[in-house]
């Protein structure tokens, strides 16, 4: 499992760096006048998608690509080949599918007058000629299109991905663990002797023996070099789509822990939902606790349980001032810092039950409510201006500003008053602020739901997603967990005293 995690991290670094060249050579050198055929993998240097329904919205920060025929959603990809020499005899675009499609997508050319952080539907360059297309495919496979006619060494290649139906397709973006790549076969490069004491193998999606325009299995990395017969290094296979449970290990001492709490939906309403394509792409890319439960109804006792180890006798969504111990005080006492990021929060130390609907950061305008803000219910915070200054709005969010973040979207974006699709769009816009930051390198994001719609285990069966840079894609943690388990995980990460019921709860176990 450690090898698999190392390879995934390598692939992520390749996506960030832009170009990865396979350099796997044998012990025998050859004359400088000879030429060789070499396989080169180039990771996307920019990507974004645009949406006709949100014509001025930029989605360059998203870690996925979306394409749709109705409304029109187009995916843009750029590959910088200026450092690649020789002649391209074959170019294969490989993109990982986070969702299935019966019709597939087509690949068109476009110009390079767009930028990842500014492109939107209004200023996006139009599609040019069609290069190729996929057939239908399942979720969780690499799709492949021959784009040789549109690729030249020493240039920049820009493509538009166009849905061939009216059903949205989710594809992995360049900073995901399955970054889009161009797999190039290069000829005409002079060969030189190479020291073989330290062969290098950079993992990539390797071409299948019979490439097609349809989906391919998750590829292994078996690069070759010709024309001479030389030994090659063949990495072990990539992880399968259904990883096994690892031997439980301690929770890492994360630099930052981000807890994002969504609202009021049972596990079955979220996992596999067509209304939540981004959330389900996270589930495919990271880890999911499949047997996780809220502890009570309605909302507020769950927030209090998550942060104090008990519901403290609360059975409604009223206004409470609690003198009990809480996780925020424990984090502070350990020499770490915390922030409660409350979307729509009016001002420091605001103690009202709710606020007017306002725009605050990404997502829809909506209201802040105290019942979803546990920090203000603890008197060690509410009566101390220095402490309650750590409760702040979303627009001021800085992923490196604290160690623990407790993040609550407003009533529209948390799926309470808004739809599942509204919450999904909020997460798609907000989460990259964390995952694309340097603070994410040794950190974890937990996304959970406060309660479900049933009374199972007191509060319903809810989805809880664990996101780390090294997570096994599609991992499922099958043990039974609840909100006290999430609290226990935070405590174990930083060696904090265990509050209330967290002392008897099992911490979440993932291949962190």
Q: Looking at residue 261, which CATH number applies to its domain?
A: 3.40.720.10
Rounded to 10 degrees, the C-alpha dihedral 109/112/118/119 comes to: -20
Structural domain contains residue 489 = yes
* Residue entry with tokens 């840079």: 469
pLDDT at 230: 32
Alpha-carbon Rg for the chain, nearest whole angstrom, is: 25
Contacts of 350 (CB under 8 A, 6+ apart): 376, 391
Residues 195 and 275 reside in one and the same domain: no
Residues 284 and 189 reside in one and the same domain: no
Q: Which long-range contacts (CB under 8 A, 24 or more apart) does 107-111 make?
A: 107/131, 107/132, 107/133, 107/145, 107/147, 107/159, 107/160, 107/161, 107/162, 108/159, 108/160, 108/162, 109/150, 109/158, 109/159, 109/160, 110/76, 110/158, 110/159, 110/160, 111/158
Q: H/E/C letters for each residue in 196-219?
A: CCCCCCCCCCCCCCCCCCCEECCC
Q: H/E/C letters for each residue in 272-322?
A: CCCCCHHHHHHHHHCEEECCEECCCCCHHHHHHHHHHCCCCCCCCCCCCCE
Residues 268 and 220 reside in one and the same domain: no
Structural domain contains residue 233 = no
What percent of the chain is predicted at pLDDT more than 90?
67
| Residue 341: burial class (beta carbons within 10 Å; 0-12, 13-18, 19+) | buried
Structural domain contains residue 9 = yes
Mean pLDDT for 9-22 is 35
Residues 213 and 277 reside in one and the same domain: no
Residues 179 and 283 reside in one and the same domain: no
Question: End of a domain among 183, 202, 225?
Answer: 225
Average pLDDT, the chain: 82
Residue 172 belongs to what H/E stretch? Answer: strand 169-172
Q: Between residues 160 and 141, which one has the greater pLDDT?
A: 160
Structural domain contains residue 248 = no
Residue-wise pLDDT for 387-445, tens only, equals: 999 999 999 999 999 999 999 999 999 999 999 999 999 999 999 999 999 999 999 99
Residues 209 and 262 reside in one and the same domain: no
202 falls in which pLDDT band (50, 70, 90)? very low
Structural domain contains residue 230 = no
Residues 177 and 261 reside in one and the same domain: no
Residues 81 and 200 reside in one and the same domain: yes
Structural domain contains residue 232 = no
498 falls in which pLDDT band (50, 70, 90)? very high
Residues 158 and 108 reside in one and the same domain: yes
pLDDT at 169 over 80: yes
Structural domain contains residue 309 = yes
pLDDT at 500: 96
pLDDT at 75: 96
- The DSSP call for residue 102 is S
Beta bridge partners of 196: none
| Residue 31: burial class (beta carbons within 10 Å; 0-12, 13-18, 19+) | exposed
Q: Which domain holds residue 471?
A: 256-504
Question: End of a domain among 206, 225, 244?
Answer: 225
Residues 394 and 459 reside in one and the same domain: yes
Residues 299 and 447 reside in one and the same domain: yes
* Residue entry with tokens 């952080």: 117
SS3 245: coil
Structural domain contains residue 243 = no
* Total Cβ atoms within 10 A of residue 371: 23
| CA torsion through residues 100, 168, 414, 362, sign | positive
Number of domains in the chain: 2
Whole-number Å distance between alpha carbons of 264 and 266: 7
Residues 283 and 138 reside in one and the same domain: no
pTM here is: 0.55
pLDDT at 36: 59
Residue-wise pLDDT for 458-483, tens only, equals: 999 999 999 999 999 999 999 999 99
pLDDT at 163 over 90: yes
């Amino acid at each position: 499992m450690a090898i698999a995690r190392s390879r995934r991290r390598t692939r992520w670094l390749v996506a960030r760096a832009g170009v990865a060249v396979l350099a796997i050579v044998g012990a025998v050198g050859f004359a400088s006048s000879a030429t060789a055929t070499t396989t080169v993998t180039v990771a996307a240097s920019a990507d974004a998608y645009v949406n006709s329904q949100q014509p001025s919205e930029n989605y360059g920060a998203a870690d996925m690509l979306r394409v749709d025929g109705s409304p029109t959603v187009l995916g843009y990809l750029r590959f910088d080949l200026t450092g690649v020499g020789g002649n391209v005899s074959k170019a294969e675009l490989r993109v990982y599918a986070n969702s299935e499609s019966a019709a597939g997508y087509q690949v068109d050319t476009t110009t390079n007058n767009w930028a990842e952080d500014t492109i939107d539907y209004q200023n996006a360059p139009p599609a040019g000629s069609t290069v190729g297309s996929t057939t239908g495919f399942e979720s969780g496979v690499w799709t492949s299109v021959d784009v040789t006619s549109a690729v030249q060494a020493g240039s920049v290649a820009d493509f538009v991905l166009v849905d061939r139906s009216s059903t949205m397709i989710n594809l992995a973006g360049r900073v995901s663990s399955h970054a889009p790549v161009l797999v190039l076969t290069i000829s005409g490069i002079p060969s030189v002797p190479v020291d073989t004491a330290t062969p290098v193998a950079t993992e990539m999606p390797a071409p299948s023996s019979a490439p097609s325009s349809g989906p391919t299995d998750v590829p292994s990395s078996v690069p070759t070099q010709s024309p001479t017969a030389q030994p090659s290094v063949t990495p072990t296979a990539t992880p399968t789509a259904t990883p096994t449970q690892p031997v439980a290990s301690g929770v890492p001492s994360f630099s930052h822990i981000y807890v994002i709490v969504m609202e009021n939906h049972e596990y079955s309403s979220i996992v596999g939902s067509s209304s939540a394509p981004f959330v389900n792409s996270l589930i495919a890319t990271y880890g999911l606790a499949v047997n996780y439960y809220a502890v009570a109804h309605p909302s507020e006792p769950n927030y209090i349980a998550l942060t104090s180890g008990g519901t403290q006798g609360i059975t409604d969504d009223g206004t409470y001032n609690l003198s009990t111990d809480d996780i925020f005080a424990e984090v502070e006492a350990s020499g770490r810092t915390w922030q409660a990021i409350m979307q729509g929060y009016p001002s420091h130390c605001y103690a009202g039950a709710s606020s007017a609907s306002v725009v605050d950061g990404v997502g829809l305008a909506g209201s802040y409510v105290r019942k979803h803000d546990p920090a203000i219910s603890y008197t060690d915070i509410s009566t101390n201006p220095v402490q309650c200054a750590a409760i702040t709005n979303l627009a001021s969010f800085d992923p490196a500003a604290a160690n623990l973040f407790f993040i609550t979207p407003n009533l529209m974006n948390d799926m309470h008053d808004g739809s599942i699709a509204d919450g999904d769009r909020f997460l798609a816009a907000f989460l990259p602020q964390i995952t694309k930051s340097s603070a994410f390198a040794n950190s974890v994001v937990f996304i959970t739901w406060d309660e479900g719609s049933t009374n199972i285990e007191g509060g319903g069966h809810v989805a809880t997603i664990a996101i780390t840079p090294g997570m096994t894609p599609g991992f499922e943690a099958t043990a039974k967990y609840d909100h006290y388990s999430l609290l226990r995980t935070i405590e174990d990460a930083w060696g904090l005293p265990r509050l209330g019921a967290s002392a008897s709860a099992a911490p979440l176990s993932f291949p962190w």
